[in-house]
Amino acid sequence: MQQVRPPHRPPWKTFLQVSAIFVLPVFLVLKLTSAIGWSWWWVMAPLWITVLAAVLVAAAVALGYTLLKWFLLATAWLGFRRTLLPELALADPMVRSRIEAERPAVPALSDNEP
């Protein structure tokens, strides 16, 4: 029979759980026995710091995902636009110089010629 291993947990998750489970009761006991004179905000800090860290990580991931998505969409749109409407690509100096280099030389008409 094969043993079932528990899933691997990232170290930051373990740290957050340890801080919320073990540090908070210590702070509560110290506050209730008047051993420390901290504000209740600092006594409950293991809870709100954990929540704040999770919110900041989620916001950073969401922002990164959104920026990556916008970049990929913009890149795809620019490529599509150049293939769909090649005349819009003339604004690109590299494209314009290639087109001018491939154009056959046409002699200029002078004012004297009919």
The residue segments making up the domain with residue 86 are: 11-102
Cα gap 84→35, rounded to integer Å: 74
Cα gap 46→27, rounded to integer Å: 9
Residue 75 in any domain: the answer is yes
Residue 62 in any domain: the answer is yes
> Could you read off the pLDDT of 43-81 as tens digits, one per residue?
998 888 888 888 999 999 999 999 999 999 998 888 777
Residue 2 in any domain: the answer is no
Residue 107 in any domain: the answer is no
Q: What is the number of residues in the chain? A: 114
Instruction: Give the pLDDT band of residue 37 (cuts 50, 70, 90).
Output: very high
* Number of domains, the chain: 1
Residue 5 in any domain: the answer is no
Instruction: Give the pLDDT band of residue 39 (cuts 50, 70, 90).
Output: very high
3-state SS of 13-75 is: HHHHHHHHHHHHHHHHHHHHCCCCCCCHHHHCHHHHHHHHHHHHHHHHHHHHHHHHHHHHHHH
Taking residues 6-18, what's their average pLDDT? 68
